C-alpha cells in the first residue's frame, strides 16, 4: 500500500503540472476571464497542500496551551511551535476585541468554535527552504479552514499575521451570511480601521478612475459617492452608470494596439470603435475587467462604520433584514443617515491623499554642503599646475 504522504505529494505535483496547460487553453475564448483557470489550478494545488498539512497534524501529538480570545490553541512540544502558537494567541485576543465591535455577541460564539494547531516544520519538509526555522499553523475559524507557514521573519511582521487572521474571519462570516453580504458589499465587513496603506490604495483608485462619478465623489458629491459605492437598486446597470457607452468606447480605442494585434479580437474592435456598436463595446469592456470607482475595500469599510455605530446588536439586525435598498439597510442597522456614514468614509478616503514630497530643510542643508565641497574640489583641480 502506498504511503498516504506519497499520494498527497503526487497530487501536489499533478496540480502544478496541470496549471500551464489550463492557461494555454484560454486562447480559445478571447473574452473569457483568465482568472477562472488560474484560480482553479491554484485551488487544486492548495487543496493538496491543505490535505498534506492536515495529515501531518493528525499524526502529531499536540497539547492544549490554553484559550486565547476564546479559541483553543494547541501545539507540539517543540519550542518553535509553542512560540508561534503563543504569538498567534496574542493576535487572537486582539482579533476578538475588534470582532466584538463589529459582530457583537456573534464574535464570542464564533471564536468559541475555533481552534489553532501549530506543528514544527522540520527542514526536509519545509515548503520554503530559504526561511529560518518555523512552524505550520492550521486555523479552524468557525469552520473556515486556513493554513500558513510561519518563520521567525514572518512573526516579526505582525501585520501579516493579523492580515491572515482577518482574512479567515471574513471568510467565516461570509460563509454563514452569504445571502446577506454577497450582493452588497460583495464580501464581509472590515473588522478594524484602515491602515495608512489601505487608505492610500482607496484614494488612489478613486482619484485615478476614469469614471465621472469618481471625480464628483472626490469633490464631495455624496450622491455620486452612492453610485461609486454601488448603492443602487438590484436591477440597476451599474457598469453603465460608472462608465457611459461613449467612455467605454474611448477606453476600448485606447487599448487598440493590443486588441488589433489579435485576429479574433480585431473584428470586435472595429465593430465597437468604427461602427459604434454599444453592445460589442460593453462585451469587450466587461471582458477586459471593470474597475469600480470605489472598490470592495471601501464598501466593506462603510459597512463596518454602520455596524460600529449601531452597537452590539447591529449585525443581528443586518442578518434579519429583508430585501431593502443598500442605503435603507445601512440606516436601519446604524441608526444614522446614510449620508452621514458616507461623509465619514469620504473623510477617511481624503486622508489617503499623498503628502508633499518636498525635501526637509536638513536634507537641503546637507545637499548644499555636498555641492560646496564638490565645487571646491573642482576649483582646486583647475588651479593646480
- The DSSP element (H or E) to which 256 belongs, if any, is helix 256-260
3-state helix, strand, coil in the chain (%, to 5): 65, 10, 25
Residue 86 lies in a domain: yes
**Contact by Cβ (8 Å): 335, 310:** yes
pLDDT on residue 281: 84
- Please say if the pLDDT value at position 126 is more than 80: no
Domain that holds residue 81: 63-176
Are residues 208 and 332 part of one domain?
yes
The mean pLDDT of the chain is: 78
18 against 185, higher pLDDT:
185
**Pairing between β-strand 134-141 and β-strand 115-121 as defined by DSSP bridges:** antiparallel
pLDDT on residue 153: 59
* Domain at 150, CATH number: 3.30.160
Are residues 341 and 279 part of one domain?
yes
Are residues 225 and 121 part of one domain?
no
pLDDT on residue 94: 92
Residue-wise pLDDT tens digits, 4-57: 555 544 444 444 444 333 333 333 333 444 445 556 666 676 677 667 666 766
Residue-wise pLDDT tens digits, 272-331: 888 888 888 888 887 766 778 898 899 999 999 999 999 999 999 998 887 788 999 999
Residue-wise pLDDT tens digits, 339-349: 999 999 999 99
pLDDT on residue 330: 94
Residue 368 lies in a domain: no
Are residues 341 and 206 part of one domain?
yes
Are residues 153 and 90 part of one domain?
yes
Reported as a pLDDT band with limits 50, 70 and 90, residue 234 is confident
Q: Is the pTM of this model over 0.75?
A: no
Are residues 325 and 208 part of one domain?
yes
> Considering its fold, how many domains does the chain have in total?
3
DSSP 8-state assignment for residue 264? T
Distance CA 335, CA 169 (A): 25
33 against 372, higher pLDDT:
372
Residue with grid cell 487544486, as numbered in its chain: 44
pLDDT on residue 324: 81
**What is the average per-residue pLDDT within 110-130?**
73
- The DSSP element (H or E) to which 140 belongs, if any, is strand 134-141
In degrees, to the nearest 5, what angle opens at C-alpha 158 toward C-alphas 182 and 50? Answer: 55
Amino acid at each position: 500500500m502506498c504511503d498516504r504522504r506519497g499520494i498527497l505529494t503526487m497530487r501536489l505535483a499533478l496540480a502544478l503540472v496541470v496549471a500551464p496547460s489550463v492557461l494555454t487553453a484560454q486562447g480559445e475564448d478571447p473574452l473569457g476571464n483568465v482568472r477562472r483557470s488560474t484560480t482553479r489550478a491554484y485551488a487544486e494545488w492548495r487543496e493538496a497542500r491543505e490535505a498534506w498539512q492536515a495529515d501531518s497534524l493528525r499524526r502529531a501529538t499536540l497539547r492544549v496551551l490554553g484559550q486565547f480570545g476564546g479559541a483553543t490553541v494547541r501545539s507540539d512540544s517543540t519550542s518553535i511551535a509553542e512560540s508561534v502558537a503563543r504569538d498567534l494567541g496574542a493576535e487572537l485576543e486582539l482579533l476578538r476585541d475588534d470582532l466584538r465591535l463589529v459582530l457583537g455577541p456573534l464574535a464570542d460564539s464564533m471564536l468559541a468554535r475555533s481552534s489553532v494547531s501549530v506543528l514544527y516544520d522540520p527542514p526536509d519538509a519545509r515548503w520554503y527552504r530559504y526561511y529560518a526555522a518555523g512552524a505550520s499553523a492550521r486555523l479552524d475559524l468557525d469552520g473556515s479552514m486556513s493554513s500558513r507557514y510561519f518563520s521567525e521573519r514572518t512573526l516579526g511582521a505582525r501585520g501579516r499575521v493579523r492580515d491572515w487572521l482577518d482574512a479567515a474571519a471574513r471568510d467565516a462570516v461570509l460563509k454563514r451570511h452569504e445571502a446577506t453580504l454577497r450582493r452588497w458589499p460583495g464580501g464581509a465587513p472590515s473588522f478594524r480601521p484602515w491602515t495608512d496603506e489601505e487608505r492610500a490604495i482607496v484614494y488612489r483608485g478613486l482619484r485615478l478612475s476614469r469614471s465621472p462619478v469618481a471625480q464628483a465623489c472626490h469633490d464631495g458629491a455624496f450622491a455620486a459617492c452612492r453610485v461609486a459605492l454601488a448603492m443602487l437598486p438590484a436591477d440597476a446597470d451599474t457598469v453603465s452608470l460608472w462608465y457611459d457607452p461613449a467612455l467605454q468606447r474611448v477606453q476600448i480605442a485606447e487599448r487598440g494596439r493590443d486588441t488589433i494585434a489579435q485576429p479574433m479580437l480585431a473584428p470586435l474592435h472595429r465593430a465597437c470603435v468604427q461602427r459604434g456598436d454599444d453592445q460589442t463595446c460593453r462585451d469587450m469592456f466587461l471582458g477586459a475587467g471593470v474597475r469600480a470607482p470605489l472598490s470592495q475595500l471601501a464598501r466593506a469599510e462603510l459597512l463596518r462604520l454602520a455596524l460600529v455605530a449601531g452597537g452590539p446588536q447591529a449585525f443581528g439586525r443586518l442578518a434579519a433584514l429583508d430585501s431593502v435598498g443598500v442605503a435603507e439597510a445601512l440606516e436601519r442597522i446604524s441608526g444614522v443617515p446614510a449620508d452621514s456614514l458616507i461623509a465619514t468614509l469620504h473623510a477617511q478616503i481624503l486622508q489617503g491623499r499623498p503628502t508633499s514630497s518636498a525635501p526637509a530643510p536638513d536634507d537641503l542643508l546637507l545637499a548644499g554642503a555636498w555641492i560646496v565641497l564638490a565645487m571646491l574640489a573642482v576649483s582646486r583641480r583647475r588651479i593646480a599646475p
